[in-house]
Amino acid sequence: MGFLSSLAAVSPGGEQRATVNPTHPRDPVLAEMFGDPGGVSVTPESAMRVTAVYACVSLIAETLAALPLHVYRKEIDANGREKRVRLTDHPLYRIVHEMPVAGMTSFEWREMSLSHTALRGDSYARIVTGPDGRISELPPILPDHIEPFRDRGGRIRYRWWPDGLGPVRVLFDDEVLRIPHKMLDGVRSLSPIGTHRMTIGNSLAASQFLRSFYVNSAQPKGALMSPELLSDDAALALRKSWEDRHQGPQNAGRIAIFDGGLKWEQIGMTMDDAQYLELQKFNVADIARIYLVPPHKIGEMGAVTYSNIEHQAIEFVVDTLLRWVTRCEMRYNAYLLSAADRARGVYVAYDMKGLLRGDATARANFYRSLFYIGAMTPNEIRRAEDMNPYDGGDSYYVQGATTPIASLDGMLGIGGPGQSVDAAMQTMIEKIVSQALEGRDFDNGLNEALRTNEGGGNA
């Protein structure tokens, strides 16, 4: 056993601990021993004391935990249209939608799972099945108590220390639901906190510096200036009198009266103070980049305006949340559904339509424009809004009398009902041009061509 492995296996108190990957020390004991080059210990727990980290993790975890998670089945109706049906009676529905494990609601379970992944790079839960082979519960496993590895056959296995100490158990891949972050070797995930310890450590160090500054050498807001030299007792008495009269919320705004040549000098913000504030803003933006979260979502408004806030909110869904949704959905479908269920078209999916819809008026105008030029059918619009199709909703329409395009073939078809709309329009254009070349009035030629086509015959 190497030096790092020895340290990982034995805690300062001498108790045996689960050995974790020494190249990725997420064990709090190792983190406290070594800290980071800035002298600040960065662990998932200490990182959550950074407001930007807390905000990013909470935003991702709570937003996805609040989204409805359902079990669906794809079906093909009699007209060959695909639709989906929510399976509220499926055994997995209770697990993902209501209570995955005793004592935890679906929201709480998913919030914890996503928080583990966002902080430590992985979240784990045991897949416990009942006598009928169906999943009965998903008790969570702390990431510090489990480690993935490949056996000699190349299959994924897990070393699990049930209480973090004691004997190790080996779990098979189908016994564990794992939600990994980014993997480079197909086994271990990169921890966002571990990978960006320097960035988060800078923010922690800056906060500790500010606290130390105010505790040990706080800069006063101002000074009372006297034209005469005061004794120590006189200076103390003057300061106490000033503080008694003007300190505290009950004395806020109280008018000061100076005599004896006293005057008040305001002590403004120094350049160091201003640089500290700029550093804090940079740290917030830097941490937001780690999680691909727009800074305005965690309170750093920057150049955000009311005119572009909606578009940035949709970008957050598409560029940030969608990858987390995909990560979770693919794991849920691969590990929580049987092969027979997947073959029948059963799947687990988040309901994201509320996040992606954006402004209702703009969306309605968009659909209306496409509908009136024959680019979308009513059923295509309903599908985009996560609604099931209806009979008669697959026809295309054009502006005017909202007539199905199919019925225009007979009305416009110069050569009869079988002629396509494109061919009919080409024939009509050629006829109008021919009449124009003959010197006939263009408007009259157009009206005559339309009357001829409406009659279904030739001029």
pLDDT in tens, 253-309: 667 777 777 777 766 555 455 566 666 777 888 899 999 998 888 877 666 566 666
Cβ atoms of 43 and 28 closer than 8 Å: yes
- Asked whether the predicted pLDDT for residue 438 surpasses 50, the reply is yes
Please give the single-letter amino acid code of residue 307.
Answer: S
The pLDDT value recorded for residue 424 is 58
Helices (H), 197-308: 197-217, 232-246, 271-290
pLDDT in tens, 153-195: 999 999 999 887 778 999 999 999 999 999 988 899 999 998 8
Q: Is the pTM of this model over 0.85?
A: no
The pLDDT value recorded for residue 411 is 52
Burial class from Cβ neighbours inside 10 Å (0-12, 13-18, 19+) for residue 207 reads middle
Q: Which residues contact 248 (CB under 8 A, 6 or more apart)?
A: none
CA 9 – CA 168 distance, rounded (Å): 13
SS3 label, residue 24: coil
Query: How confident is the prediction for the chain on average, in pLDDT?
Result: 77
Residue for token pair 């919030």: 111
266-269-270-271 Cα dihedral, nearest 10 degrees: -150
The pLDDT value recorded for residue 407 is 61
CA 333 – CA 156 distance, rounded (Å): 18
- Asked whether the predicted pLDDT for residue 415 surpasses 90, the reply is no
Domain ranges in the chain are: 35-216+285-358, 220-269, 405-454
